[in-house]
Amino acid sequence: MDNKNMITQEEIEKSKEIIQKINNYYYSKMVGQFRLGTSLLIAVMCNGHILLESVPGLAKTTAAKTLTEAVNGTFSRIQCTPDLLPSDIIGTQIFNYQTNNFETKLGPVYANFVLLDEINRSSAKTQSAMLEVMQEHQTTIGGEEFKMPDIFTVIATQNPIEQEGTYMLSEAQLDRFIIKEIIEYPSIDEECEILNRIETNVFDNSYAVASLDEIKFLQNLVKRVYIDPAIKRYIISIIDATRHPERFISKELAEYITLGASTRGGIYLMEVAKAVAVMHGRNYVIPDDVKVMIYSVLRHRITLNFAAVADNITEERIINEIIGAIPTP
């Protein structure tokens, strides 16, 4: 590891302080949903995008707004509908009759945190308009490029129950989300606490506990975390096993897989492992860092056939089998 690039103890302590401030603010408003809070923060630390799947009313929007408030960022909410046009998201050119010129009006996507609510309700054409934004961090309107903010995270949600008037996300769209998190109902005790916090107007008091510059600091720190070549090979072995499952797991389970993870999946698995290391106060990655978020990184990159659905075989089970078959370094 290059000594010039080595993360100092002071930087580790600073990162722990920033993460603690954000978590304290987040959980002062949010009840439970620890997996969601961790996934949101890791996605931001990796400067990536996150897909949230759950039925309505489980605080996805509240979580996104709370994180935005904590770091003093800008927030934009886009409600996806079948008639939503790409120009409604990225913007368009409008003719000004007073100046006889076209003027560019930017859309709501230009924010630090963009909530795409029920993304699977938007048409394939509108979904594809987000590809350049999410991957290239820029849009093109009238031949002119417009850059996204340095801190730019898309938080997309989808309802797994509703089928009417929805459009399945393509593999290319899914692959651009660094994490896919599935949100479950809270426990009875957690739901009682939610009612208590609503009564005490906890959501009326909003203030920043960190800054976007501190988020940039975390992002730069994640890039500098050391990862041993043996752990890199371990990550690639996992990715390769999703493509050639018959070599690693039983033939019966392997036949359920129609498509494995892409190279981007391996890149994201490495980046997430680095972010996990920073969250645990380390400047290097250990094998357990790879496993902590492996469901979230790979569940939407492994495509199963209809037989798997009929037999109740999940992506998580496939991932478990693959992890068990590959030696940990």
Q: Where in the chain are the domains?
A: 3-199+207-325
User: What was the pLDDT predicted at 165?
Assistant: 55
Q: Within 10 Å of residue 213's Cβ, how many Cβ atoms? A: 11
pTM for this one?
0.90
User: What was the pLDDT predicted at 144?
Assistant: 81
Query: What is the rounded CA–CA span in Å between residue 237 and residue 289?
Result: 16
CA 48 to each of CA 130, 207, 256, 272, 294: distance values in angstroms, whole numbers, following the listed order: 13, 24, 29, 10, 16
List pLDDT tens digits, range 140-183: 887 788 889 999 999 999 887 766 556 677 787 888 899 999 99
List pLDDT tens digits, range 251-289: 999 999 999 999 999 999 999 999 999 999 999 999 999
Domain 3-199+207-325: give its CATH code.
Answer: 3.40.50.300
At position 9, the amino acid (one-letter code) is Q
Query: What is the rounded CA–CA span in Å between residue 156 and residue 75?
Result: 13
- Closest by Cα among 76, 266, 209 to 152: 76
User: What was the pLDDT predicted at 123?
Assistant: 83
- Regions of the chain where pLDDT drops below 50: none
